[in-house]
Amino acid sequence: MSNELQIDSLLPAEMAAKAEAVGVKKANLDGASMFALAVLAGAFIALGAIFATTVGAGTFGSTWADGNATTSWPTGLQRLLSGLVFSLGLILVVVGGAELFTGNNLIVMAWANRKVSTAQLARSWGVVFAGNFVGALATAVLMLWSRQYEFAGGQIGLQALTIAQHKATLAFGQAVALGILCNALVCLAVWLTFSARTTIDKIAAVVPPITAFVAAGFEHNVANMYFIPMGILIKETASPAFWAAIGKTPADFAALNLANFLVNNLIPVTLGNLIGGALLVGGVYWFIYLRKR
């Protein structure tokens, strides 16, 4: 019996044991590998953000001209499509292999069972957070050099600026709440992949929760490491021709600066992501399946 091939998906108790084992493995990675995998994850999430920005361009209650034809997209459909394509980021992380801060909040399950020390947990989260930032920011710089934001008459750049402006103007408490909701869904997506036996299983598990958080407008700190710097870079470097094409000026995006990025978004969203992922998903499933009776 023990040699038979098992093809059924893992049940939740088995998923919890797998999550704990994965957490131990992640926490014991050497520093160089951990950082390199984190850079990859930051870039992967940024690729999902690029895809979502491109798909969403010109659809927020407006039209996108294509020759003599124009089409208008309902906001709900635009959000659905943006969420679907943003799923690319976590698919690349899970299937391709990378270290993502938000998903790694589930290491708390191994920590709660004393399989991972507090120092190891803090090291993992710190190194991965830094690596994610480097990967996302480097991708933003590369995108700036590509001038892809000028495509479609500047509509892609306008979409990038609009997304970044909105994120940079959130109230602190609002950003925390949106971060909690976001990472509850992200960690549930990662949790569901622990049941998977195949690559297709993993992809199918990832897409619905990630689509939901993007469509609902929740806040993901690593995605925002791309979205807001991208908006700031466009604002600070775009040509007069670009601003003329979109009918805006840099003054229309006054909130796009480093202080607002950190205070109004990155800090509160990271706090919310920790609560949503480590406490509401990792902590709850640890309590149900792994705690010592």
| 126, two tokens | 């710190």
Confidence of residue 28 (pLDDT cuts 50, 70, 90): very high
What is the pLDDT averaged over residues 27-52? 98
Rounded to 10 deg, the angle between the 155-168 and 221-237 helix axes is 120
C-beta of residue 221 within 8 angstroms of C-beta of residue 277: no
Is the pLDDT at 60 greater than 50? The verdict is no
Confidence of residue 35 (pLDDT cuts 50, 70, 90): very high
Q: Across the strands, what pairs with 69?
A: 66
Length in residues, the chain? 293
Q: Which residue has the higher pLDDT, 155 or 66?
A: 155
Q: How far is CA 69 from the centre of its chain?
A: 34
Q: Where are the domains of the chain?
A: 30-290
Is the pLDDT at 66 greater than 70? The verdict is no
Is the pLDDT at 4 greater than 60? The verdict is no
Q: How much is the pLDDT for 292?
A: 85
Q: How much is the pLDDT for 74?
A: 61
Question: How far is it, in rounded angstroms, from Cα 186 to Cα 18?
Answer: 17
Q: How much is the pLDDT for 278?
A: 97
Confidence of residue 77 (pLDDT cuts 50, 70, 90): confident
Confidence of residue 10 (pLDDT cuts 50, 70, 90): confident
Report pLDDT digits (tens) over 219-255. 999 999 999 999 999 999 999 999 999 999 999 999 9
Provide the phi-psi class of 14: left if phi over 0, else alpha when psi is between -120 and 50, else beta: alpha
Enter the CATH code of domain 30-290. Answer: 1.20.1080.10
Confidence of residue 78 (pLDDT cuts 50, 70, 90): confident
